[in-house]
A = this chain, B = another copy of it.
Amino acid sequence: MVSAGYDELVETRELRYFVAVAEELHFGRAAQRLSMAQPPLSRAIQQLERRLGVVLLHRTARATALTEAGSVLLREARLALDAVEAAERRTRRAAADQPGVVLATKAGASRELLSKLLHAYAAEPGSVAVEVMLCGPGEPESLLRNGRTDVALLHRPYDTTAGFDTEDLHTEQQVVVLPKGHPLANRAYLSLVEVNAQTDLPLPRWPGRDGGHPDGPGPQVRDHTQLFQLIALGLACAVVPESLRDQLRDDHAIVPVPDAPAVTTVIAWPPHSRSKAVADLVRTATRL
């Protein structure tokens, strides 16, 4: 007998429906997002609950909330849907005539490393086309999980590398970026507490995993360009890896922050990847 049978599994449709409801916490809006009417959605969730023998949502007439089991399913269902999506995408790409490999990294980060890597890999014998996909913070992990990309450059501890194979490429200290002429700008170094303590320059708020910005005083930013613009205008400051220095203009000042956690650039790929191109890319990267 070959590998155990998967019988009676939940369908991806049901998981999609549940994720929509769990994220919206509102059947009507979830139905709208799924381009369907509310009643069949309600029924589908009920059916899912009956099948699992588990109450997933706590409904009151006024609000809908996740139960403990519901939030477990939300997390697991996202992973499962990502895996299904990855299966679909990787199969399509495996069938495409031109092989190619997709690499993701946060826009603006590790520029120099990336260009060195791309040049070195292109010089390798048997190298294939590398499509670089620039994306916002927090995104690369999910792009890797759902098969949109084959390999990514991540930055610990900003990005989480859980569930991927990784190789460390480069470690660097962080610096605080200030508007030129700011009182703290001529210090030899600053500590994290000093940066956090000063109140005239708020720290920016990056979007979280869910796409929403956390609450707080600072301005909302989506990329480094926005960030550096705001800093130049004297509206913010930020602690960033020192390699971003070459993207600064002369109306910026930087001060080392020795006690900020060091940032390690890693190359990451799905653990079960069998792609020769990914393997070559990783090997090239570690040899830089």
Chain A interface (Cβ < 8 Å from any Cβ of B): 1-7, 9-13, 15-16, 19-20, 23-24, 33, 52-56, 67-70, 72-73, 75-88, 90-92, 94-95, 142, 147, 162-165, 209-212, 270-272, 274
Contacts and interface: CB of A to CB of B under 8 A. Distances in A.
A72 B91 contact: yes
Main secondary structure on A side of the interface with B:
helix
Contact of A12 (B10, B75, B85, B163): B10
B3 A9 contact: no
Contacts of A85: 6, 9
A94 B68 contact: yes
Determine how many copies of this chain the complex contains.
2
A81 B24 CA distance: 26
Closest 10 interchain pairs by CB?
A162-B271, A76-B87, A69-B95, A163-B271, A80-B83, A72-B94, A54-B95, A83-B83, A73-B91, A69-B94
Contacts of A164: 163
B9 A23 contact: no
A82 B10 CA distance: 12
A23 B3 contact: yes
